[in-house]
């Protein structure tokens, strides 16, 4: 069964490559020649949240990093190295941290559920939960998960903004804006969390307004 399914993947790949080349001759040659994405996407590893399809972008147009619950922390050299490459070498113009409603990692943090080794990683989301404990406690139970998914994306934008990678890039004059979004599996739409950071100034105010909007959405 496993061998058959893997072979089917290769067959699908060949069919896809042939179809693309028929419809867009020279596509792969052009793609191989350059990588100049304007966007970087930091998202969840969830297989239902594919960056290119959601945004309608072509291969080569978005640089992607994914992990459980779209977390950005100073100890994760993998994530920070990816951000630095995107900013310093590819000169991306927009970096989006994109959570998604119903995220299993965020739900585990909200409910203190044990999932295994990933509990150590999800501890970072629990920090977000604890930071906004009073806000979450004031919401109806059915809205708490959605709110924490949004708050987690917002706080990860803060972590990107405060990283040495971004502070150094902005100091050099790199024009990179950070954004916090949340994707819905129910309808395929992205919610702009209004957490947009164009540089080093005004982070606290933008953060405070974005958190207020989370509370307002959850209570309406």
**Catalytic residue (one of 65, 66, 79, 100):** 100
**Catalytic residue (one of 46, 66, 146, 182):** 46
100 carries an active-site annotation: yes
CA 90 remoteness from chain centre: 18
Place of tokens 């950070």: 178
Of 79, 99, 206, give the one whose Cα is nearest residue 151: 99
Of 71, 66, 157, give the one whose Cα is nearest residue 106: 71
3-class secondary structure, 63: strand
182 carries an active-site annotation: no
**Catalytic residue (one of 103, 129, 144, 149):** 103
Of 191, 161, 165, give the one whose Cα is nearest residue 178: 161
Q: How many residues does the chain have?
A: 220
149 carries an active-site annotation: no
Place of tokens 């930071």: 131
179 carries an active-site annotation: no
44 carries an active-site annotation: yes
**Catalytic residue (one of 12, 24, 48, 219):** 48
**Catalytic residue (one of 44, 79, 149, 182):** 44
What residues are annotated to the active site?
44, 46, 48, 100, 103
């Amino acid at each position: 069964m496993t061998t058959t399914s893997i072979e089917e993947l290769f067959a699908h790949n060949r069919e896809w490559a042939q179809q693309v080349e028929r419809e867009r001759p020279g596509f792969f040659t052009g793609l191989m020649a350059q990588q100049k994405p304007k966007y970087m996407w930091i998202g969840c590893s969830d297989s239902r949240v594919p960056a290119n399809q959601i945004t309608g972008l072509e291969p080569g147009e978005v640089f992607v990093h994914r992990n459980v619950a779209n977390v950005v922390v100073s100890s994760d050299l993998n994530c920070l190295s990816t951000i630095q490459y995107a900013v310093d070498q590819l000169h991306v113009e927009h970096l989006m941290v994109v959570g998604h409603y119903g995220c299993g990692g965020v739900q585990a943090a909200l409910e203190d559920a044990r999932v295994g080794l990933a509990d150590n990683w999800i501890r970072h989301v629990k920090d977000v939960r604890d930071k906004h404990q009073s806000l979450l406690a004031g919401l109806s139970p059915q809205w708490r998960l959605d709110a924490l998914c949004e708050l987690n994306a917002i706080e990860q934008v803060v972590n990107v903004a405060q990283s040495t990678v971004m502070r150094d890039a902005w100091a050099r004059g790199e024009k990179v804006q950070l954004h916090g979004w949340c994707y819905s599996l129910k309808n395929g739409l992205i919610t702009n969390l209004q957490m947009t950071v164009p540089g080093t100034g005004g982070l606290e105010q933008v953060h405070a307004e974005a958190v207020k909007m989370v509370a307002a959405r959850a209570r309406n």
